[in-house]
Amino acid sequence: MKQIVCLHSLTPEQIRQIEQAAPGFELIIKNKKELTPEQVQAAEIIIGWSKTIASHALQEDSQLKWVQTWSAGVDTLPLERLRDRGILLTNSSGVHAIPISESIFAMMLSFSRQMHIAVRHQLQKKWESDLKVPGQSTLGEINGKTLVIVGVGEIGRETARLAQAFGMKVIGVRRSDRPEPNVDRMYTMESLHEALGQADYIVNVLPLTDETHHMFDAAAWNAAQKGACFINAGRGPTVDTASLIDALRSGQISGAGLDVFEQEPLPADNPLWEMDQVIITPHVAGSNDRYTERVVDIFTENVKAYVAGQKPPRNLVDYERMY
């Protein structure tokens, strides 16, 4: 019998959901340490990925034909080897739209209302109504401010929808300047710096590719409107960390909400830890209690098509674009 190997825990209902969508397949659920090399090599479909199983999954006699990742990003996978083997690759794009957009707004509202400073005062039992930090004004509001979203995919669309509800002007930046609901104006990547010059808040939700590596560098910060806040919920290496620290120190960027970093965990001696104008979360913006449910829904739709001899209709990765 053909085999599907899933590296993540599933509920009995989710197991039934997959089994009903994939008749003729045996579903094996084990973590990477429990799987034998023989089970990895025999799998036609793998849900999830791990460097631990890569050598066995990509052997010449492996049965692997399709990988459904547990994450939206695929930059940590051996893309060239998967492509050369003709293996289908689908990601979990769309799973993160709600939790990440809500995390983005938690950070933006914190900067606007200086909640992060109030919490630090609370820990010191300090009653202080002046919450401003160097380079920032006192309490503000996001209504009427301009938000620039760089990378308008599923997460960017949901972020734009929420921004419109808060009365913000929304500018989008992506490969295509095709209009998008809830985005007032769309720029292509070639016009990134022009867009940044209009931003009160900059949200980065770009994937990591050769093109986007260190896209946010000294030139980008200098092009930004002075005093803009920057939020990174995309990929850490899209940002040149050293130049961001310089921009924060100079006040060119007044605050940074960072969920992802070039090096994770963020080293204890990194200056970002000590900056009052920085909010740090440990790569958890996309985490929530409905994650597995949403991944299984994506996989179920895809596997129904796969069983019928069709390509998976959702989130098929373009190896040339790397997303």
What is the rounded average pLDDT for all residues in the chain?
Answer: 96
Residue 75 has pLDDT above 80, yes or no: yes
Neighbours of 303 (CB within 10 A): 22
User: Smallest Cα–Cα separation from 231: which of 134, 115, 106?
Assistant: 106
Residue 306 has pLDDT above 80, yes or no: yes
User: Smallest Cα–Cα separation from 314: which of 296, 299, 8?
Assistant: 299
CB 50 within 8 A of CB 70: no
- Crossing angle of helices 12-21/291-307, nearest 10°? 20
Q: How far is CA 218 from CA 30, 105, 252, 256, in A?
A: 45, 25, 10, 15
Tokens at 211, concatenated = 């093109």
Total residues belonging to the chain: 323
Class (C level, CATH) for 2-94+289-307: alpha beta
Q: What is the pLDDT of residues 129-151, one digit of tens each?
A: 888 765 555 799 999 999 999 99
Give the pLDDT confidence score for residue 42 in this predicted structure: 97
Tokens at 288, concatenated = 């929530």
Neighbours of 156 (CB within 10 A): 28
Report the distance separating Cα 160 and Cα 200, nearest Å: 14
Look up residue 109 and give its amino acid: L
Residue 279 has pLDDT above 60, yes or no: yes
Tokens at 192, concatenated = 């990134």
Report the distance separating Cα 19 and Cα 112, nearest Å: 48
The phi and psi torsions of 19 (rounded to 5 degrees) equal -60, -40
The phi and psi torsions of 224 (rounded to 5 degrees) equal -70, 155
Q: What is the pLDDT of residues 20-57, one digit of tens each?
A: 999 999 999 999 999 999 999 999 999 999 999 999 99
- Give the predicted TM-score (pTM) of the model: 0.90
Report the distance separating Cα 45 and Cα 26, nearest Å: 10
Give the pLDDT confidence score for residue 135 in this predicted structure: 54
Give the pLDDT confidence score for residue 264 in this predicted structure: 97
Active-site residue set: 235, 264, 283
The β-bridge partners of 230 are 202, 256
Give the pLDDT confidence score for residue 136 in this predicted structure: 58
User: Smallest Cα–Cα separation from 239: which of 117, 116, 151, 135?
Assistant: 151
The β-bridge partners of 171 are 148, 185
Which DSSP helix (H) or strand (E) runs through 304?
Answer: helix 291-307
97-280 has the same fold as 2-94+289-307: yes
CB 91 within 8 A of CB 317: yes
Neighbours of 252 (CB within 10 A): 20
Which DSSP helix (H) or strand (E) runs through 68?
Answer: strand 66-68
Q: Which of 120-134, 139-153, 192-206, 256-270 has the lowest mean pLDDT?
A: 120-134
Which DSSP helix (H) or strand (E) runs through 195?
Answer: helix 192-196
Confidence of residue 4 (pLDDT cuts 50, 70, 90): very high
Domain limits of the chain?
Answer: 2-94+289-307, 97-280
Q: Tell me how far the alpha carbon of residue 300 is from its chain's centroid.
A: 22
CATH superfamily, with its number, for domain 97-280: NAD(P)-binding Rossmann-like Domain (3.40.50.720)
Q: How far is CA 101 from CA 14, 24, 104, 203, in A?
A: 26, 39, 5, 10
